[in-house]
Chain A
Amino acid sequence: MSAASPVVPSDTTGLAPSAPPEPSAAAEAKRRLSSPWASLAAIVIAILWTVPTAGLLITSFRPVGDINSSGWWKFFLDPNVTLDNYRAVFTGDDVGLSTYLVNSIVITLPAVLIPIALATMAAYAFAWMKFPGRNALFVAVFALQIVPIQVTMIPLLSLYVDPPFGLPQLAGANAPGGGFYTIWLSHAMFALPLAIFLLHNFMREIPGELVESARVDGAGHVQIFTRIMLPLMVPAIAAFGIFQFLWVWNDLLVALVFGGGSLNISPMTVRLAELSGTRDQAWHLLSAGAFVSLIIPLIVFLALQRYFVRGLLAGSVKG
């Protein structure tokens, strides 16, 4: 839904935050021990947050009859485990789940890389380049976040099908790349406002002295961008990349609308949306489908989680 990168706040004195000194062992211990209430509160919140999802997970392993007649907590009293639901999700379709998985990957990767690249460059321009109308343009870009996708469906599709100035057609039966280009482009467009906003926010935290000294050494914008900015921005880019990945991976509408209707290039979300079939109440299929769809984003998140925790801090340190 929303994509964002964690932002390092400017500290109250306006200087870049200094590297934090190692906390003394005593202070650490004191923190942990002095708040059992805090731990309890945290645990309660964590449980509240996980219960709904856990319920669905358990449901996905129960047989249909059980699901419709008793609550999932009864599972613990009378465990009837079945893999039928997952089996139905993986098979039972002409095209095969692996095709949808491939499609999801093929759609997601460029839809993450392209907007990040473009947004980083634009963010740099807003942060470090001077040009007339800079602020107004930035506000306009920021404001465009509000435009909902449904509003763009018909205008954009019309443009893709019948581009002006004799540009090649991007959608329709003869679409290049099998119709993926429309999806990639559209995702890039929708991601840009928030991406630019957040990356710009982060970029401004990078100490001006770095840029100035590079300038003095005769570096041009391109060199500064590639040699100084990009390495420092890696954590922020990775963090935003995760959010963008999640957003594109879970997206249904863009793939449906701009995919031109071909099942051959539809991602997993399309398949899962159709899973509930004509009967919307197929909890057994929905629950299994939801978890199948959840696995990869979860893996991505867990794998890249360290960027959330540590990386941003490293980025704020003077290099």
Chain B
Amino acid sequence: MRSIHLRRALATGAVLVLGAGLAACGGDDGGGETNTAGGTSPGEGKAECEALTEFGDLSGKTVSVYTSIVAPEDQPHIDSYKLFEECTGATVNYEGSKEFEAQLVVRARSGNPPDIAYIPQPGLLANLVNDTDAVVEAPSTVADNVDEFFGEDWKSYGSVDGTFYAAPLGANVKSFVWYSPKMFADNGWEIPETWDDMMTLSEEIAATGIKPWCAGIGSGEATGWPATDWLEDTLLRDGGADVYDQWVNHEIPFDDPAVVEALDRVGSILKNPDMVNGGYGDVKSIVETTFQDGGLPILEGKCALHRQASFYAANWGEAKADVQIAEDGDVFAFYLPPTNDENGSPVLGGGEFAAAFSDRPEVQAFQTYLSSDVWANEKAKATPDGGWVSANTGLDVANLTSPIDQLSAEILQDPEAVFRFDGSDMMPGAVGAGSFWKEMTAWIGGKSTEDALADIESSWP
């Protein structure tokens, strides 16, 4: 009896060693070792399973995934894993929690992390890598995928100090202004191509009796984050991508004059009682209104413009059933125009990254799957109501059902686009998930631009 087990163990071990050796030889820039389980993968022979067969037979193994995505957005994710489960025989256990950010740190610190976590901020990734030993370097199969399907920028967002850890997953575009095509058509308004045109349009709209802009920054503990997006978008346009990068990396102080100027420009809309808050009241109501409710007055004709990310598409359905989100529908979005000609057409956006806490074969297989174009397309197909997009260039735009997603995908996949990740997501938690939000809230409430920015600067760890 024992000798049979021994022989089997030796055989598996040999395959493992061989497999690992081959994989290690095959790896190049970035990416750690790839582990395999040996045996024949259930997906052997199927075209879509090609990338996964090298991981061997993973039947009976489980991979746990932990994210902050809860119902109803979680179901498409769960559905998108089915192909993986068929190809490898492994099972994926999904858990979404609104306590994700705090709990992930607790679990990582106490030695009980999930196998894979969807990390929505590069700053959080950096924290985890630097403060805990729990994050595992991405294997070479993942690095290869990311090199093939994503731009360099995206790979760097998933890296910390030059080591690549987490492949990008979904993304969103934040440089959008939502509007009602019907309202525009009825009034003969045109989509502005420059910021100045946008301000002229706003005054035109104000003359018809409604406040042109509506906004909401309420979000529980995260209240204030939409205002940070406003500032980031504006700084990208006014100061340019280089200044933006310096600001995010704290190479220039948070209250640098360029930033002050950008925030004042935002204030010319957000703190201007003639401009806001359509449908809700005065400037202060911006703080009380939740971000989910922020743009809804557009549907009632009480406001015309709402600057918000592509994921806001999901909120229109709350106010009006069967709402049409299309260029000729009830609502659509146009690109937030630049303020000058020198800084191009920058795009602000966000996304999640899949970081792994284990290097077991099944975990690495799943990571590889997530970073591939196969998954991106599976996920798009699993989201029939739209509301999801990725910067994965292997994503076939035709799989996206919603026009706003298609528009976002085109913007993301455009090699000319100057893309920048949401700044507050990259800053250290004390600022990006703390003082930045709070000071923006206070700023809307009446605090001066200089004071708010100075206070954030002094809170930088």
Asked if A pairs with B, the answer is: yes
Contact (Cβ within 8 A) A280 B97: no
Q: Which residues on the A side are within 8 Å of B220 (C-beta)? A: 280
Q: Which residues on the B side are within 8 Å of A260 (C-beta)? A: 112
Q: Which residues on the A side are within 8 Å of B69 (C-beta)? A: 278
Contact (Cβ within 8 A) B114 A162: no
Contact (Cβ within 8 A) B111 A161: yes
Count CB-based A-B contacts (< 8 Å). Answer: 72
Contact (Cβ within 8 A) A261 B110: no
CB distance from A138 to the nearest CB of B (A): 31
14 contacts between A and B (CB under 8 A): A156-B110, A157-B111, A157-B112, A161-B111, A161-B112, A260-B112, A261-B95, A261-B97, A262-B93, A273-B98, A277-B71, A280-B219, A281-B290, A281-B293
Q: Within 8 Å of chain A (Cβ to Cβ): is B318?
A: yes
Contact (Cβ within 8 A) B219 A261: no
Closest 3 CB pairs of A and B: A157-B110, A161-B111, A158-B110
Contact (Cβ within 8 A) A261 B107: yes
Q: Within 8 Å of chain B (Cβ to Cβ): is A81?
A: no
Interface string of B87-126 (1 = CB under 8 A from A): 0000001011111000100110111101000000000000
Contact (Cβ within 8 A) A274 B106: no
- Asked whether A162 and B111 contact (CB < 8 A) given A93-B71, A280-B220, the answer is yes
CB distance from A159 to the nearest CB of B (A): 8
For B290, give the chain A residue with the smallest CB separation.
A281
Q: Within 8 Å of chain B (Cβ to Cβ): is A171?
A: yes
Contact (Cβ within 8 A) A256 B71: no
Q: Which residues on the A side are within 8 Å of B110 (C-beta)? A: 153-158, 160-161
Residues of A within 8 A of B (CB): 92-94, 153-158, 160-162, 171-172, 256-257, 260-263, 270, 273-281
Q: Within 8 Å of chain A (Cβ to Cβ): is B17?
A: no
What would 11 more interface pairs be, CB under 8 Å, given A153-B110, A256-B99, A279-B318? A93-B71, A153-B106, A154-B109, A157-B107, A157-B110, A157-B111, A261-B114, A274-B97, A275-B71, A278-B70, A278-B73
Contact (Cβ within 8 A) B96 A274: yes
Measured CA separation A93–B78 after assembly (Å): 12
Measured CA separation A56–B107 after assembly (Å): 35
Contact (Cβ within 8 A) B71 A92: yes
The residue that A277 contacts in the complex, of B66, B70, B78, with Cβ under 8 A, is B70
Interface residues of B in 48-73 (CB under 8 A from A): 64, 66, 69-73
Contact (Cβ within 8 A) A261 B71: no
Q: Which residues on the A side are within 8 Å of B106 (C-beta)? A: 153-154, 157, 257
- Asked whether A261 and B64 contact (CB < 8 A) given A273-B98, A280-B220, A281-B293, the answer is yes
For B71, give the chain A residue with the smallest CB separation.
A277
CB distance from B152 to the nearest CB of A (A): 31
Q: Which residues on the B side are within 8 Å of A160 (C-beta)? A: 110, 112
Q: Which residues on the A side are within 8 Å of B114 (C-beta)? A: 261
Q: Within 8 Å of chain A (Cβ to Cβ): is B315?
A: yes
Measured CA separation A154–B113 after assembly (Å): 12
CB distance from B405 to the nearest CB of A (A): 17
Measured CA separation A257–B321 after assembly (Å): 38
